[in-house]
Amino acid sequence: MSVTEPDTARYALALTAPEETRALSIAILDDPELAQAVWRWERELQPLADVLRERRPPRAAEKALERLLFPGSDTRALRRARSFWRSLAMLFLALFLLVLGVFMIVLARPDLVGLG
Amino acid sequence: MDEAEIARLLERVAVGDRVAFRTLYRRTSPRLYAVCLRVVHDSSRAQSALVDAYAKVWRYAERFDPADVPASTWLIAIARHNAIMRARNGAQPAPQVDAALGLAARPRETKALARLNGRLADCLARLDPSEAALVRAAYFGGVTETGLAELKGLDVAAARRTLADIARRLGACLAP
């Protein structure tokens, strides 16, 4: 397709019709000169975006993005699960040490529990 | 945004670095979300547009070349075009030029425009005020050639010539 300077401006200003936008998007990939012209317009017009006040997106957006791109790797859920199993392991270890301690005492001083 | 830092993050994202991607999101999403909100005027749709834009960033980061374009320009272009396409494909009514030309009446917009300075501000000031408003509205997807044609009672080709002429004069002014 033959692309002119006004076409690249129309593309950067989002004035092109959907079919033309698609065609230009493909043409840009194959034509570095055309891409440069579009990027020049994007750079020149960017101050219009730069003056917008930044807004932190809701946390839900990041969660949706994580689910979309990395399904099954919800790091927070993984951290929660890891923390649960670590706590359970610690509890069993404490119980085991307690039982072991009692057992050692019984072995050492059976008279204390009326076995001597 | 520190351009060099964002560019470094994008280079790491290009090789599939999820930690870099999450850092990139945290650093840049407030700015991109503001752009999406400005285009679609609705929090829920802006969130969807933002998610879609970052999915594209993840998929196409390898195409980013800092020699071609600053990192922030690349990100903003993806978010803005993506939000505009979503706004036009969705149930939202077609953007109306008359609404777009009423931009200056909105206090938030007026404050934002007051912060605009530099070469672009100078070049917009050289256009007729209604033409400058058209450019500002078009940038955020508020103007289509069809919409302008309907408003002015022109055919689409004439509306295209009008907008191309504005773009030509703006481009001539912006040329280095």
Cβ contact B138–A17 (<8 Å): no
What separation in angstroms does the CA of B21 have from each of A13, B5, B26?
A: 28, 12, 9
Tokens of B44: 């829920």
Query: What separation, in Å, do the N-terminal and C-terminal C-alpha atoms of chain B show?
Result: 25
Closest approach of B170 to chain A, Cα-based (Å): 9
What separation in angstroms does the CA of B5 have from each of A8, B2, B32?
A: 29, 5, 16
Query: How far is residue A37's CA from residue A31's CA, in Å, rounded to a whole number?
Result: 10
Candidate from B50, B84, B120 with C-beta closest to A14: B84
Q: If you average pLDDT over residues B19-34, what whole number do you get?
A: 97
Q: Is A70 on the interface with B (CB under 8 A)?
A: yes
Cβ contact B85–A18 (<8 Å): yes
Q: Is the pLDDT reported for residue B1 higher than 50?
A: yes
What separation in angstroms does the CA of B13 have from each of B16, B61, B63, B72, B117?
A: 5, 6, 11, 15, 33
Length of chain A, please? 116
Structure confidence by residue, pLDDT tens digits, B114-161: 677 788 999 999 999 888 888 988 899 878 888 888 877 888 889 888
Tokens of B132: 């400058």
Cβ contact B112–A15 (<8 Å): no
* Alpha helices (H) along chain B: 3-14, 18-40, 43-60, 71-89, 97-101, 107-114, 119-126, 129-139, 145-152, 156-174
Q: If you average pLDDT over residues B43-58, what whole number do you get?
A: 96
**What confidence category does residue A24 fall into, taking pLDDT thresholds of 50, 70 and 90?**
confident
pTM (2 d.p.): 0.78
Closest approach of B135 to chain A, Cα-based (Å): 7
**Residues B26 and B5: beta-carbon distance below 8 Å:** no
Average pLDDT of chain A to the nearest whole number: 86
Residues in chain A closer than 8 A to B117 (CB atoms): 47
